[in-house]
Structure 1
Amino acid sequence: MRYWPVIWRSLPANAMAIFPFMLFKDPGQKTDALLINHEKIHFHQQLELLILPFYILYTINYLINLYKYRNHDKAYFNISFEKEAYANELDMNYLKNRRLYSWFKYL
């Protein structure tokens, strides 16, 4: 999947996928295969939800988790989209076999 890499030094995270852009905090991250695979998983999630609904569900999931855990890190790492991406980022072939809406099983 093609994407446009963008360096944004004040990015609040190491990297971020906002289809079709992949934002990186540091130029060296543009060659980090693990990080790129993680962000490409997010691209697939965004596309299957037609982009805008992804961001709405992501935000709702985060806010529910923030209320539940009262902690930003716990809320972030328990977002179903992040759970799928972190669980599969080491598998460089994951996206070849990924089923639609795979994030749903991480709810």
Structure 2
Amino acid sequence: MKAPILIIKKLPAAGMAIFPFILVKSAYLKKDQEIINHEKIHLRQQLELLILPFYTFYLFNYLINLIKYQNHDLAYRNIIFEREAYKHETDLDYLKKGNWFGWLRNWKR
């Protein structure tokens, strides 16, 4: 998947995927294969859910996790979409292998 990568210096995270773009905080992160792969996984997830529902479900899952864990970092890391992206960010062939709707496997631990 080829996605335009934009540098946004005031980005609140190292990287972010907002379909169809990958946003990174600095130029050197454009070459960080793991961050780019992580964000490409999010782009795939956004396509799987037809983009807008992804953002709604992502926010809803975060808010439920925030109530559950009472901690931003734990709530964020346990969003089902983040679980898939973090789990496979080092596998640069993950998206080529298919794995559509892989985030569903992270529904329950």
Instruction: Name the aligned partner's letter for residue 57 of structure 1.
Output: F
Separation of aligned partners in 1, 2:101 and 2:92: 18
Encode CA deviations 1:34-92: one digit per residue, 9 max, x unaligned.
Answer: 11111100010000110000000000000000000010000000000000000001111
- Once the two structures are superposed, the pairs formed by residues 23-62 of structure 1 within 5 Å of their partners are 23-62=23-62
Deviation at 1:94, TM superposition (A): 0.6
1:96 Cα deviation (Å)? 1.2
User: Where in structure 1 do 4 or more consecutive aligned residues deviate above 2 Å?
Assistant: none
- Match of 1:82? 82
Give the aligned length.
107
**Structure with greater helix share of residues:** 1
Q: RMSD of the TM alignment (CA)? A: 0.8
Q: 1:98 Cα deviation (Å)?
A: 3.0
Amino acid in structure 2 at the alignment position of 1:61: N
Cα distance in 2, alignment partners of residues 83 and 106 from structure 1: 7
Identity, % of aligned pairs? 56
TM-score, scaled relative to structure 2: 0.95
